[in-house]
Amino acid sequence: MALILSKVKPSCAAKVMAQFPATLRNGVMRRMLTFKPIVDATMRMIEQSIHEDFMINLARNAAADTHSRMADIINKMERQNMEEVLDNLSQSRPKSAEILKSLLFTFDDIINMTPRARTALFDQIPNEKVILALKGTNPQLRNVVLSGLTARARRLVEHELDGGEPASQRDVLEARRAITDQALEMAARGEIELNAADAEDTYIR
């Protein structure tokens, strides 16, 4: 540790050591002050070992990172385009398609969330976006979403859906996208789980 930190830029070493507990930081500093010259052959061996370690870890994580980035892109697509991409991948790269499907989350997938996760999600969504997002949904999905609202919010949303003005498809899709983006952000922070409900958890009020 002391050897590596002695070879990087001082600003980098300072930032790294600032994260250490005081005892470890002081010990590393003492070792850096008492270094004896390192022969070139030994230094090359250390550099090679570090290089191989980093490259192995990079290779292990590259596939997962690639699928995660692709899932983020596909999640932003319109439903029809998303399905076309996945259908195409299913024919050419079926394993990748399966991995991507497990990482995707759409508005329709709200039905698979636990009641607790749905409530946490819709606590963060303005009522007007919920109203827009529910335009044109099937009764089952609508009831599941409504079950995640407070009693007051549910009455307001139901009233607007029953007698409100029609909305453009673009506004509806944007509202659904905003809700799914919020769900993905909350899941990334560990606040909720996506697609975690089993048959007993998924129910309709």
> Do the domain assignments include residue 152?
yes
> Do the domain assignments include residue 20?
yes
Mean pLDDT score, 38-48: 84
Q: Are residues 92 and 158 in contact, defined by beta-carbon separation less than 8 angstroms?
A: no
13 versus 61: the higher-pLDDT residue is 13
Q: Return the CATH number at 113.
A: 1.10.220.30
> Do the domain assignments include residue 146?
yes
pLDDT tier, 117 (very low <50, low <70, confident <90, very high otherwise): very high
Q: Residue 72: its pLDDT value, please? A: 77
Verify that 159 and 111 share a domain, yes or no: yes
Residue-range definition of the domain harbouring residue 88: 57-103
Range of lowest pLDDT (42-56, 88-102, 151-165) = 42-56
Going 56 to 57 to 62 to 63, the CA torsion angle's sign is: positive
**Distance between CA 67 and CA 103 in Å, rounded?**
8
Q: Are residues 194 and 182 in contact, defined by beta-carbon separation less than 8 angstroms?
A: no
**Distance between CA 172 and CA 132 in Å, rounded?**
5
Mean pLDDT score, 132-143: 92
Q: Residue 46: its pLDDT value, please? A: 83
> Is the pLDDT reported for residue 63 higher than 90?
no
Mean pLDDT score, 11-39: 88
> Do the domain assignments include residue 42?
no
Cα R_g (the chain), whole angstroms: 26
Verify that 113 and 71 share a domain, yes or no: no
Verify that 29 and 94 share a domain, yes or no: no
Residue type, 131: I
Range of lowest pLDDT (109-113, 140-144, 185-189) = 185-189
54 versus 143: the higher-pLDDT residue is 143
The number of folded domains in the chain is 3
Q: Residue 64: its pLDDT value, please? A: 55
pLDDT tier, 201 (very low <50, low <70, confident <90, very high otherwise): very low
55 versus 71: the higher-pLDDT residue is 71
Verify that 78 and 144 share a domain, yes or no: no
Give, to the nearest 10 degrees, the angle between helix 169-188 and helix 115-122: 110
> Is the pLDDT reported for residue 196 higher than 90?
no
pTM: 0.57
Q: Are residues 151 and 46 in contact, defined by beta-carbon separation less than 8 angstroms?
A: no
Of the three residues 43, 77, 103, the one that is the final residue of a domain is: 103
